[in-house]
Amino acid sequence: MVWGSELWVLSGYKDRLSKVASGPYAGLDINSLVAKEKERLLGKHVYAACGDEFPLLVKFLDVHDKLSIQVHPSEELAQKRHGAHGKTEMWYVIRAEEGAELIAGFSQKITPDEYVKLVAEGRITDVLAHHSIAPGDVFFIPTGRVHALCEGSYIAEIQQTSDMTYRIYDYNRPGLDGKPRELHTELAKDALDYNLYDSYKTPYEHRADADIELARCKYFITSVIDLHKPLVKDVASLDSFLVVMCLEGGGLVKTGEEVEEIKADQCILVPASADSVRFEPGPQGMKALLSHM
């Protein structure tokens, strides 16, 4: 990418479908697996809502330069305009260089017409809220919230299965093809949330060897585990798959008789048919995000 690189570790998005790495379904893409296993993989309520498309997209983003200033339309607006999903997402900061920051929300109240004028004049960054970041910081980015990652960070991202983005400002830089990237000023005008909020960073209390909830919305529920001893999580009561996204360290993930090793930057998908999951950290511990619907 213009700004760095990203690894789509679990994706049901068309043209970028993840494939099963091992076992009897090795080589099968994720949406074909969903079509075969249906509610056994996704859970009854999830499959009823999502059908044969895996509903979450999880990534690791290695950010070396500023991303474009952007906003994602709501589910309703994206369906109306494009027949596509909206893009609610969240960020977990894995690593951050000294002085690293990100952008989320406006720093002062503006009107839609003022927004258009500021973009035209190249001054939209003057009214954006900048946040210093450190490892472990969490930012929930609902649709409508203006946002951008900045250089010097390594980020875990969990989002709806969508690539629906309105690009507002891109620092007048060329894309990988040498041409300016398209801006969506007018489309974004009606998609933006112009309200100001007291806080944009998600507060939570870190506790070792516990399952700590970070984000809960219509599209995903995400928690973090930081383990130095085994932990068992009930899955049967969720009626949902469980995505395990390893951030640091590694270890074993066990469901019934199945055992898989996991390490940083890897992902394991636990089916809804599992009763429980046992996490056994290795010598360096295991830090991971757990997401379900």
> Catalytic residues, which ones?
167
Contact partners, residue 16, CB within 8 Å, separation at least 6:
8
Question: Which tokens hold the place of 119?
Answer: 């973009």
Q: Which of 237, 184, 167, 220 is nearest to 10 (CA)?
A: 220
What is the SS3 assignment for 63?
Answer: strand
Residue 182 CB neighbour total at 10 angstroms: 9
Cα-Cα end-to-end distance for the chain: 30
Contact partners, residue 148, CB within 8 Å, separation at least 6:
66, 67, 68, 69, 70, 102, 103, 128
The answer to whether 219 and 292 are in contact (CB under 8 A) is: no
Helix (H) or strand (E) segment spanning residue 32: helix 30-37
Specify the DSSP class assigned to residue 236.
G
Distances (CA, A) of 164 to 72, 85, 125, 139, 284: 6, 7, 22, 19, 38
How would DSSP label each residue in 112-124? HHHHHHHHHTT-G
Question: Which tokens hold the place of 167?
Answer: 């690009």
Q: How far, in Å, CA of 273 to CA of 42, rounded?
A: 8
